[in-house]
Amino acid sequence: MDDLNQAYQETVRAVAQSVVNVREGEWGDRDWMRIVVNYESLRHAAEPQESVLAFAIAQPPGGTPEKVSFRLSPQATAGFHRVDDVMSKAKGQHWTVCDLVIDRDGRYAFEFSYDPPYRLGGNLNDTRFKDYLERYLAGSTKALAQ
C-alpha cells in the first residue's frame, strides 16, 4: 500500500473513532450513517491556523436521524496533517481545504482545494452545512462511488 492510501485509511479510522466525542450532550446509543469533515488548514503559513467542522448524520435505535457535531481526536488531526504532508511531497504545495465524507458501509471520499479557506478567510458564520441533514435525507447530497 502506498503512503497516501495508508494515510487516507488511518485518517478515516481515526475520524470514525472520534465521532463519539460530541460537542453537546452524549453520543448514547446512536449509530452513524455518514460522517462529514470540512478541514481548513493554513498550518504552513506565517501565522498557522486551522478550522474544523465535523458532524455525523446519526440515528438512535427507532429514532429520527439527526446531525450531531463532534470534535476530532488528536489522532484524527494528525491524520489530516499526514495526508497533507504526503500530498505536498508529491505536488509541491499544501492543500488549504480537505472535505472528507465517510459512509457507514466503509466507502469514503477525500476532496481537496487549494483556494483560500472560507472560515479562515473571515467568514466565521459558516452556514454551508446548515441544511445538510435535510439534503442527505432527501437524497440530494453527493453519493459516494462504489
Domains and CATH numbers, the chain: 3-137 (3.30.500.20)
Backbone angles phi, psi at 97, to 5 degrees: -140, 135
Strand 50-59 to strand 97-103: parallel, antiparallel, or no bridges (unpaired)?
A: unpaired
Helix (H) or strand (E) holding 136: helix 132-137
Which residue has cell 481545504?
A: 97
Instruction: State how far Cα 46 lies from the chain centre.
Output: 25
Is 54 in contact with 72 (CB distance < 8 Å)? Answer: yes
What one-character-per-residue DSSP string does 63-107 give?
Answer: S--EEEEBPPPHHHHHHHHHHHHHHHHHHSS--SEEEEEEETTS-
**How far apart, in whole angstroms, are the C-alpha atoms of residue 115 and residue 131?**
23
Is 20 in contact with 35 (CB distance < 8 Å)? Answer: no
* pLDDT at position 125: 92
Of the pLDDT bands very low, low, confident and very high (cuts 50, 70, 90), residue 35 is very high
pLDDT tens, residue by residue, 82-130: 999 999 999 999 999 999 999 999 999 999 999 999 999 999 899 999 9
pTM, two decimals, is 0.93
* pLDDT over threshold 90, residue 42: yes
